[in-house]
């Protein structure tokens, strides 16, 4: 009996324990379920908060004034703070140089800032509330100011100079500047939108736009559109949330005056002569002529040599479809004294006077451009000659004219070669013309070629690589002449210029021509009495080799010095080589 009771009690105890264990398991399961539920609930709450923050709370408030130029926030690249005084927006001179005019310049003599941009040159001082734009004065509400040793320009008063529109969104601390030459596209938000900092799945909201708001469209890619909001913020929205995209301003692109390769020839005559009568003639393949219309005299005054013959020449050229870019030379001034050109280059007022006369003459005679041929200048005036080109070019662009500048090879004498900053000239002017001749010139003390192919190619590579001039701005000028060298029995050498058309008349018929494949020229050498005669011949073959460099390097075209010296067939050869 006792044994049976023990067994019953044990069974009862086991049963109770089992029940208790089950209860404990259920209880623990409920606790775990509750904990999981709480975790899930917390996750949902956090996710909801994150969603609210991500989509509805803007996390991009500006603490300092931001500057947006052409839909790019460049605030981090500013060298100095933006000043806003009496509703005038000021940018520092270094920042203007960085974003608008790398050649901005303070003229110490007149105590004013000179700035250029595309078709405008402007001067603004430190005292008077006025600005001079392309020779015309205009009253404004501010002037240049100085703060902590930094000069600031009132850019909001200079919109006409830089061709921009400016908006100051004060409550958002954003200033937007847009070029009026760049395309501007607008779209309309089809719903309330959160503007994101990126296209990633999780990205902060930098702004919100309401349904019906206009936004500036910057670009579209992979289903997202980069926009600028009315608050000046730049971010991303889904492209399908925008409707009615349209352009309110087209991109302004300047058309080149000459389509295809340029074929220019200089039509030179001295101040004692007059423009040649080319009536009823054509020059096969030519599209630009450069007659010797303008020069600086020995007093540094701008002079014209046009007259009735010059005006008839312009009419003839235009009737043939040729552009007229007359040469403006300082040859007379340079022959008289290096100081004459130097005095003009080193004075803003003197440069301005010359530029004004050039512009007026171009308008008066219905010209298409100008060819600046200043040579024999002081090396120390290199930057000031560049200033002359910097200040002249926008004035000519304003009236649709081309600026071309003649320069020598990069290596040479101080007053012949080192007086040019080819990089700046090539950047500013429409064309830079490499006068690829006089490798051995009239002042050379030993005989040599006028323009060897190897020298031309090496020099051209320096233009392209060292000077970093865009190939489409370089015109390669070739010679229509060579030199006959005479060396006496004492070893002294002199030379005489010989036109291509006359070469065969000055060479004895029994002299053998030998082709030099490095120079890509025919060479002759013979004795006349006690003198040694030498010539490196320029002919169609030598010119063809040099002209091949134009297509090889995608240059702008060719120029030739000078009309009247050429041999038969040269124009047809150039035309064929350049596919004119």
CATH 3.30.457.10 in the chain is located at 66-167
CATH label, 183-249, candidates 2.60.40.420, 3.90.1300.10, 3.40.30.10, 2.30.30.40: 2.30.30.40
Asked if 329 and 374 count as a contact pair (C-beta separation under 8 A), the reply is yes
DSSP state of 567: P
Strands 327-329 and 224-228: what pairing?
unpaired
Q: How many CB atoms lie within 10 A of CB 480?
A: 21
pLDDT at 474: 98
Please report which helix (H) or strand (E) contains residue 341, including its range: helix 338-345
- Cα separation, 123 vs 106, in Å, equals 9
Asked if pLDDT for residue 482 goes beyond 70, the answer is: yes
Q: In this structure, are strands 120-125 and 130-133 parallel, antiparallel, or unpaired?
A: antiparallel
Confidence (pTM): 0.90
C-alpha to C-alpha distance for 486 and 507, rounded to whole angstroms = 13
**Residue 451: burial class (beta carbons within 10 Å; 0-12, 13-18, 19+):** buried
- The DSSP secondary structure of 229-286, one letter per residue, reads -TTS-EEEEEGGGEEEEEEEEPPP-PPPSS-SSEEEEEE---TTS-----TT---TT-
CB 524 within 8 A of CB 507: yes
Q: Where are the alpha helices (DSSP H) in 346-381?
A: 348-364
Residue 21: is its pLDDT beyond 70? no
List, by residue range, all CATH 3.20.20.80 domains of the chain. 279-402
pLDDT at 10 over 90: no
- 208's CB contacts (< 8 A; 6+ apart) are 56, 58, 192, 193, 194, 195
CATH of domain 66-167: 3.30.457.10
Average per-residue pLDDT for the chain: 93
> CB burial class (10 A; 0-12, 13-18, 19+) of residue 246?
exposed
CA distance between the termini of the chain: 130
Q: What is the mean pLDDT of the segment spanning 155-166?
A: 98
CB environment 531-550: b (16+ within 10 A), e (fewer): ebbbbbbbbbebbbbbbebb
Write out pLDDT tens, residues 35-61: 766 666 666 555 555 555 555 555 557
H/E segment holding residue 498:
strand 493-499
What average pLDDT score do residues 484-494 get?
97
Question: Where does the pLDDT of residue 242 fall: very low under 50, low under 70, confident under 90, or very high at 90 and above?
Answer: very high
pLDDT at residue 543 is higher than 90: yes
Confidence tier at 486 by pLDDT (50, 70, 90): very high
Cis peptide before 562 (omega within 30 of 0): yes
Cα–Cα nearest to 249, from 181, 187, 203: 181
Count other Cβ atoms within 10 Å, centred on residue 569.
11
Give pLDDT, residue 24: 66
Distance (Å, whole) CA 428 – CA 408: 17
Whether 208 contacts 240, CB under 8 Å: no
Count Cβ neighbours within 10 Å for each residue of 481-504 and write b for 16 or more, e otherwise: bbbbbbbeeeeebebeebbbeebe
- Give 456's pLDDT tier (boundaries 50, 70, 90): very high
Q: How confident is the model at residue 63 (pLDDT cuts 50, 70, 90)?
A: confident
Which of 57-61, 108-112, 198-202: highest mean pLDDT? 108-112
Tell whether the model's pLDDT for residue 26 goes beyond 80: no
Share of the chain above pLDDT 90, in %: 88
Is the CATH code 3.80.30.20 the one for domain 279-402?
no
- Residue 109: burial class (beta carbons within 10 Å; 0-12, 13-18, 19+): exposed
- Return contacts of 494-499, CB within 8 angstroms, 24+ apart: 495/440, 495/442, 495/444, 495/447, 497/442, 498/535, 499/564, 499/565, 499/566
pLDDT value of position 1: 53
Q: DSSP class of residue 220?
A: E
Structure tokens at 325: 């870019």
**What pLDDT score was predicted for residue 529?**
95
């Amino acid at each position: 009996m006792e044994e049976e009771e023990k067994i019953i009690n044990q069974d009862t105890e086991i049963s109770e324990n089992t029940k208790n264990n089950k209860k404990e398991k259920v209880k623990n399961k409920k606790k775990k379920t509750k904990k999981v539920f709480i975790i899930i609930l917390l996750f949902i709450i956090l996710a909801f908060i994150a969603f609210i923050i991500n989509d509805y709370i803007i996390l991009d408030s500006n603490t300092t004034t931001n500057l947006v130029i052409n839909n790019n926030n460049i605030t981090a690249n500013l060298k100095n703070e933006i000043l806003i005084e009496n509703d005038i927006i000021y940018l520092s001179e270094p920042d203007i140089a960085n974003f608008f005019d790398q050649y901005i310049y303070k003229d110490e003599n007149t105590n004013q800032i000179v700035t250029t941009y595309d078709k405008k040159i402007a001067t603004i001082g430190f005292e008077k509330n006025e600005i001079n734009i392309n020779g015309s004065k205009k009253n404004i509400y501010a002037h240049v100011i100085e703060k902590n040793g930094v000069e600031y320009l009132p850019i909001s008063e200079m919109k006409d100079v830089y061709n921009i529109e400016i908006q100051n969104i004060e409550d958002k601390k954003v200033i937007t500047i847009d070029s009026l030459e760049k395309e501007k596209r607008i779209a309309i938000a089809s719903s309330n939108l959160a503007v994101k900092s990126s296209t990633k799945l999780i990205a902060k909201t930098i702004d919100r736009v309401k349904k019906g708001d206009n936004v500036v469209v910057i670009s579209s890619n992979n289903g997202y559109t980069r926009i600028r909001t009315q608050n000046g913020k730049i971010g991303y929205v889904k492209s399908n949330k925008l409707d009615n995209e349209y352009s309110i301003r087209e991109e302004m692109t300047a058309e080149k005056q000459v389509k295809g390769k340029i074929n220019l020839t200089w039509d030179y005559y001295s101040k004692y002569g007059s423009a040649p009568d080319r009536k009823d003639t054509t020059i096969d393949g030519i599209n630009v002529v450069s007659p010797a219309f303008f020069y600086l005299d020995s007093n540094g005054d701008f002079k014209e040599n046009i007259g009735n013959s010059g005006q008839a020449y312009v009419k003839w050229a235009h009737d043939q479809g040729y552009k007229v870019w007359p040469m403006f030379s300082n040859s007379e001034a340079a022959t008289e004294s290096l100081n004459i050109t130097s005095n003009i280059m080193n004075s803003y007022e003197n440069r301005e006077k010359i530029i004004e006369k050039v512009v007026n003459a171009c308008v008066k005679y219905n010209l298409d451009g100008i060819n600046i041929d200043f040579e024999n200048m002081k090396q120390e005036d290199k930057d000031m000659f560049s200033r002359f080109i910097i200040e002249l070019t926008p004035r000519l662009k304003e009236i649709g004219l081309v600026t071309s500048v003649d320069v020598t090879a990069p290596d040479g004498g101080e007053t012949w070669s080192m007086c040019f900053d080819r990089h700046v000239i090539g950047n500013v002017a429409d064309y830079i013309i490499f006068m690829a001749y006089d490798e051995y010139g009239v002042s050379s003390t030993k005989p040599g070629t006028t323009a060897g192919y190897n020298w031309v190619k090496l020099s051209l590579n320096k233009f392209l690589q060292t000077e970093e001039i865009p190939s489409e701005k370089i015109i390669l000028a070739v010679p229509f002449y060579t030199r006959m060298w005479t060396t006496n029995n004492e070893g002294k050498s002199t030379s005489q210029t010989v036109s291509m058309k006359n070469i065969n008349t000055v060479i004895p018929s029994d002299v053998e021509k030998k082709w030099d494949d490095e120079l890509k020229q025919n060479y002759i050498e013979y004795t006349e009495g006690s003198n040694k005669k030498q010539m490196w011949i320029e002919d169609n073959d030598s010119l063809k080799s040099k002209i091949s460099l134009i297509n090889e390097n995608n240059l702008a075209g060719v120029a030739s010095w000078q009309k009247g010296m050429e041999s038969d067939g040269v124009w047809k050869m150039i035309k064929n080589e350049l596919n004119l």
